[in-house]
Amino acid sequence: MDKPLDELGDPQRRTLLKRAAWGLSIAPATLAALAAEPALLSVQDPAAKAVHYVEDASHAQGAASGADCSSCSIYGATGADRGTCTLFPGKLVKATGWCSSWSGM
Ligand code: SF4
């Protein structure tokens, strides 16, 4: 289709408009994929190691009973099993995790 739009016949114009509509319809899905959820914090991350972060609070030394990320005052749930922590911008922590900076509500 090298012709200008006003020189196209009805079938060609219809095809072009369908393709444009299809392209617009997938744009939100593409944008959503690009705005994918941040990665989970790795226990190997130096910042995680600095505060003794673990993914399972029951394996943490020094964690009070019932203390985990989901009960921490700076945790923000983004899903059932994970959420944000202001200590680790751009990463998610496990709801069951814990670190030595845990702070109760
Ligand atoms: Fe989890 Fe709170 Fe430590 Fe963040 S500060 S990793 S939410 S226990």
pLDDT 10s digits, 35-82: 788 999 999 999 999 999 999 999 999 999 999 999 999 999 999 999
5 CB neighbour count, 10 Å cutoff: 10
Considering only residues 36 and 100, tell me which one the structure prediction assigns the higher pLDDT.
100
**Gap from CA of 39 to ligand 1 centroid (Å):** 16
Given phi > 0 = left and psi -120 to 50 = alpha, else beta, which region is 52? left
Is the pTM value of this prediction over 0.85? no
How many CA atoms are closer than 13 Å to the CA of 58, on its beta-carbon side?
Answer: 1
What is residue 48's predicted lDDT score, i.e. its pLDDT? Answer: 98
Best residue among 69, 70, 94 to mutate for probing ligand 1's pocket (most ligand atoms within 8 Å of CB) is 69
Considering only residues 93 and 33, tell me which one the structure prediction assigns the higher pLDDT.
93
**Gap from CA of 44 to ligand 1 centroid (Å):** 15
Q: Per-residue pLDDT for 23 more than 70?
A: no
**Gap from CA of 101 to ligand 1 centroid (Å):** 6
